Amino acid sequence: MDWDNTVQAPMMQIFRLYFQIAFHRMEKLGIHPGQVPLFQALAAHDGQSQRELADSLCIKQSTMTVMIQRLERSGFVERRADEHDQRVSRVYLTDAGRDIAAQCAQILHGIQQQLLEGFTPEEIILMRRFSKQIKENLVRAAEAAQRGGRP
């Protein structure tokens, strides 16, 4: 197989470049790009449980715990016991966290503008559709791999 003619080659290059740009811009805020989805999730729905966050972001529970601990030490989030079930810990953005979430949204919007420069609205719609299909394919493959088989 000629690697340069695969779909994976440009996708991997895109991911690497996107991550480099995001890392550089997020580093100025004092956060890691891997933490951005957590800020986005909490900005959209503050007070989610750690389990809900881990599940929605497809992150292991232990990884989510470490991420939340780091953001808690930085003053961006706080954990509170659930009002109805003290065993459940809910995560909330602090004022500083809300500020960072807003800045992240601006940065991501700017990167998206650069990413989509030169594309027509129709091409962007197609790209979204193709990206969603690729994601669904990979989700099925990941689930099958966890079960020890193929989709």
Please write the tens of the pLDDT for every residue from 95-143. 999 999 999 999 999 999 999 999 999 999 999 999 999 999 998 998 8
Q: Is the pTM of this model over 0.85?
A: no
Provide the residue type at 53 as one letter: L
Torsion-angle region of residue 59: left (phi > 0), alpha (psi -120 to 50) or beta? beta
Domains in the chain: boundaries: 3-117, 118-151
Q: Does domain 3-117 have CATH number 3.40.50.10300?
A: no
Give the separation between CA 66 and CA 88, rounded to whole angstroms. 16
Taking only the tens place, the pLDDT of each residue in 11-61 is 999 999 999 999 999 999 989 888 999 999 999 999 999 999 999 998 999
User: Which tops the pLDDT comparison, 41 or 1?
Assistant: 41
How far, in Å, CA of 64 to CA of 92, rounded? 14
